[in-house]
Copies of this chain bind each other. A is one copy, B any other.
């Protein structure tokens, strides 16, 4: 089994894994053929009539820099999460059409501020995860790449000094410093940047920083999607908190727990 596939709720059996690897290898295998191997999902799609639940959705390679620029500007209309989604889907609505036209991207404004200001997951990785999983499909449909790309994005976001993308015509002309969040959480990402920069939440600088973080995430997302389209995608995340520590989580334990990291209940050895 591919150790990089972080499956929290179930360990797919060896047979399922072999099937997945075959599907990954085939790359361009039609969605119908892929679905035929996963009866559970077919039943679901038939039961619900979900015509958008046939994966992968048609995808045409996009320009990362152009996508980032769209995202930067969209941030000022719909904020981080919906900006990332729209930066990709608005182009695919033009190049492909459906099912992108039927996706209600603007509904995802609520991803702002870590979901309506609660500081949970930053809307930029949350939006990127939605895009990857809508295009490639969920792991239960037999393709693990979107699940892996989501984990890649979370790790990249946590480890990278952000923002990396410089807009061609930035609304704030002053230098925007970069910080590393060690976490995909809005509270930590924004909080560490505010602490280092000295700029408050409602400042123009903080807003432009977040617009550039969204643009940076959209850029990275499109790089990964293009690799997937080319059949050259390889997952880059290298750990699973659930497997290593027996609990869902990040890798910044000491940020909250200090030196006193608790040990969760573990399965009894048989």
Residues of A bordering B, CB below 8 Å:
6-9, 40-41, 44-45, 47-53, 55, 77-79, 82, 86, 89-90, 93, 99, 101-110, 112-121, 125-126, 129-130, 133-134, 137-141, 146-147, 150-151, 154, 184-187, 190-191, 194-195, 197-203, 207, 240-242, 246-250, 255-256, 262, 264-267
Contact = CB atoms under 8 A, between A and B. Distances in A.
Contacts of A240: 117
A110 B140 CA distance: 10
Contact of A51 (B6, B102, B197): B102
A241 B119 contact: yes
Contacts of A256: 255-256
Q: How many copies does the complex hold?
A: 2
A113 to B, nearest CB: 4
A82 to B, nearest CB: 7
A248 B48 contact: no
Contact of A265 (B7, B40, B78, B199): B199
A161 to B, nearest CB: 20
A118 B250 contact: yes
A119 B190 CA distance: 18
30 contacts: A8-B112, A8-B201, A9-B113, A9-B207, A44-B106, A48-B90, A49-B101, A50-B105, A52-B102, A107-B137, A108-B133, A109-B139, A109-B147, A110-B139, A110-B146, A110-B150, A113-B248, A118-B184, A118-B241, A119-B248, A119-B249, A187-B247, A187-B248, A190-B248, A191-B264, A197-B265, A199-B265, A201-B246, A203-B267, A255-B256
